[in-house]
Amino acid sequence: MHHFIPIGIGAGLVSALLTATVIQGSAIALLLYLLAPIPILVAALGWDHRAGLVGAVVGGLALAVALEPVSGLGFALASGLPAWWLAYLALLGRPAPDGTTEWYPLGRLLAWIASVAALTFVAAAAVPDFDYALYQERVREATAALFAAEPSLSGAEGVDPDALATTIAELAPVFAAQGFTVILVLYVWLGAKIVQISGRLARPWPDIPSTLMPREAVFAFLGAVLVANLVGGFVGVFAAALTGAFVMAFALQGLAAIHDVSRGRPGRGFLLFGTYLLILFSQGLILIAMLLFGIADSAFRLRRRWFSGGPPTIVRKPPKE
């Protein structure tokens, strides 16, 4: 038996168990549920990406048998397979002529995280019935129920709650994918950090502040905005989710740029503290500024134009066997 198979089986069963705890409905159960992809990420990053694939399949099968087939399918599409794919990309490397290894760029990995976040939302929305009309009704009813529970959320007097619920339901993919993007970034970082501490991470720890998505990410973002406004059905839902995911990805890149360009400069600690303080209390305004800078940075390479040097390419010798 290949060494990665038992590791993958164990990771898949642990992930399935963490996922199944959500049926208890407690706060601790919800926390454990949110940690479900971590074992698959750790297995894939620490042993072999195939261990993560085995874990995704085993976890899905375990939940399908223990709960219901829809639960297994939902786990595989929204949790297991995304974790495996991102770990696979993180460990991609190619030999350079000088004998070093060029690892998959963090910027491209961030773009993939945004794409996977959008796909994850669509998978969660479409399973089990793949009925767009039913999906619309579910989201709209959930939004209307929220307003019924908290009337203050419906805004000023005279606003039609039904119309407002419909509008917010249309924006649900945008906001949900933004959250999924942050969560996936945290998953990958935490999984890689755990494996690095154990000494099994094949890839040297990358320079996170230098993260820079390629120009293609800008085109993908603009295309998603266009499709979201022109196409309906689940294609439009995916485009809206991709729009929200890239909004958050570019904002995170803008935040990374602040860390990058402030290195070695006086008052860096105060600047970073002030930035995070603004994120907490500016009601998202600072995120808009970081979003715009992130887009411009990918499109025009602003850091290379305005600041000395540019995002370093992390190239290291491959680990010894």
User: For residue 317, what pLDDT is reported?
Assistant: 45
State if pTM tops 0.75: yes
User: For residue 152, what pLDDT is reported?
Assistant: 62
- Three-class DSSP category at 77: helix
- Ordered by start, the domain boundaries in the chain are 1-91, 105-307
Among residues 247, 255, 293, the alpha carbon closest in space to that of 272 is found at 255
User: For residue 219, what pLDDT is reported?
Assistant: 97
Mean pLDDT by 10 residues, the chain (321 residues): 85 93 77 89 94 95 92 90 96 87 95 96 82 81 71 58 72 92 96 94 93 96 95 91 97 95 91 92 85 95 72 44 41
Which amino acid, 52?
A: G
**DSSP character at residue 181:** H
User: For residue 136, what pLDDT is reported?
Assistant: 80
User: For residue 156, what pLDDT is reported?
Assistant: 52
d(CA 210, CA 195): 22
Length of the chain: 321
d(CA 94, CA 105): 11
User: For residue 316, what pLDDT is reported?
Assistant: 45
User: For residue 198, what pLDDT is reported?
Assistant: 92
